[in-house]
Amino acid sequence: MNLRRITHRDTDWHERFFALVETVFRTSGSNFRPWNERGGWHPGYEVFTIELDGDVLATVGRERMRFVIDGKEHDGYQLGAVATHPDRRGQGLSRRLLSRVLDDISGRPVILFGNVRVVDFYPRFGFTRIAQSSFMAPVAVEPARAAPTLDLETPEDRAWLAALCARARSPDTAFSAHDYYPTLLWHLTHKPRPVFRLDEVDAAVVASVEGERLVLHDLIAPRPFDLSRILPRLTPSRVSALEFGFAPENWWPSATASPADEPDSPFFVRNLPPLPARAFRFPDLAQT
């Protein structure tokens, strides 16, 4: 068995990685294929693998991230696509591969989102599970003329969104991230949602309506603006509540925080500086 690192240039190995993800997670490549076709696999994303005779047996994906913790930026990583072929489980492959990946990181901050089957696994590698919050706010919003939406099938709209992400501030200063366009693109490819383009405030908002709730999945902007003024342009019907997929510290300070219900995706961190003693939510669309 050999250790291999697959980069954005190693296109011959991409399909083998997609095939393993499809086998393990029982999805169509977890939408890695269309994400890759849209240019999502960039130099900051690598997949570490154990392979035998050209077959990928286990993987750990590693994404370079720019974290914002208590208002300061920190270079670090997010891990994902931790997978082992069903026929090779119980042989210690994930343990061997994860140890290799972490040794290569040299003490930098690392995060990952697991599942209920691994809550005892990651602490063996120095990870700590931490709790996030959910944020809600009451509103009374009537619909107005809808804002235009992006078509991410087009290279032009993807390029516009990528450039905006590079200029945008993080949505929160407690614990968040900056410029996570490739991960955002994965989510918007895996589960398409409206991305509203708001040129008048130099922003984009990923939003959807669920009953009488307007869910703001992400807000991408380089400077603050009056969010209440653009809410009517994000909904086709009257809404009475806002739900945020991030901590709206900079956008809706009066939002109420409560413990997040995340039994299926526990949050693990390693080598983080001390977090501030206030509620946070790592942006939903920055999570792998």
Domain ranges of the chain: 2-130, 134-258
Q: Rounded to a whole number, what is the distance in angstroms from the first to the last CA of the chain?
A: 27
Q: How many CB atoms lie within 10 A of CB 139?
A: 16
Report pLDDT for 26: 72
pTM: 0.94
**CA-based nearest residue to 275, from 74, 65, 62:** 74
Q: Using the predicted structure, report yes or no on whether residue 31 has a pLDDT greater than 80.
A: no
Bridge partners, 216 (sequence order): 207, 244
Q: Residue 29: which pLDDT band, with cuts at 50, 70 and 90?
A: very low
The DSSP symbol for 256 reads E
Mean pLDDT, all residues of the chain: 94
Contact by Cβ (8 Å): 195, 149 = yes
Tokens 């009953």, residue located: 211
Q: Using the predicted structure, report yes or no on whether residue 149 has a pLDDT greater than 80.
A: yes
- Does the domain at 2-130 match CATH 3.40.50.620? Answer given as no
Q: Using the predicted structure, report yes or no on whether residue 28 has a pLDDT greater than 60.
A: no
Q: What is the DSSP string of 114-128?
A: --GGGTTTGGGGT-E
Alpha helix ranges (H) inside the chain = 11-25, 32-37, 93-105, 155-167, 181-190, 227-230
**CA-based nearest residue to 69, from 272, 243, 283, 269:** 272
pLDDT digits (tens, 9 = 90+) for 221-278: 999 999 999 999 999 999 999 999 999 998 999 999 999 877 678 999 999 999 999 9
**CA-based nearest residue to 97, from 69, 125, 127:** 125
Report pLDDT for 246: 97
Q: Using the predicted structure, report yes or no on whether residue 198 has a pLDDT greater than 80.
A: yes
Report pLDDT for 263: 67
Q: Using the predicted structure, report yes or no on whether residue 5 has a pLDDT greater than 50.
A: yes
d(CA 285, CA 78): 13
Q: Using the predicted structure, report yes or no on whether residue 142 has a pLDDT greater than 90.
A: yes
What is the CA angle 29-35-40, rounded to 5? 130
d(CA 66, CA 44): 11
% of the chain at pLDDT higher than 90: 86
pLDDT digits (tens, 9 = 90+) for 236-247: 999 999 999 999
Report pLDDT for 27: 59
pLDDT digits (tens, 9 = 90+) for 162-191: 999 999 999 899 999 999 999 999 999 999
Q: Using the predicted structure, report yes or no on whether residue 10 has a pLDDT greater than 70.
A: yes
Q: Using the predicted structure, report yes or no on whether residue 12 has a pLDDT greater than 90.
A: yes
State mean pLDDT over 103-112: 92
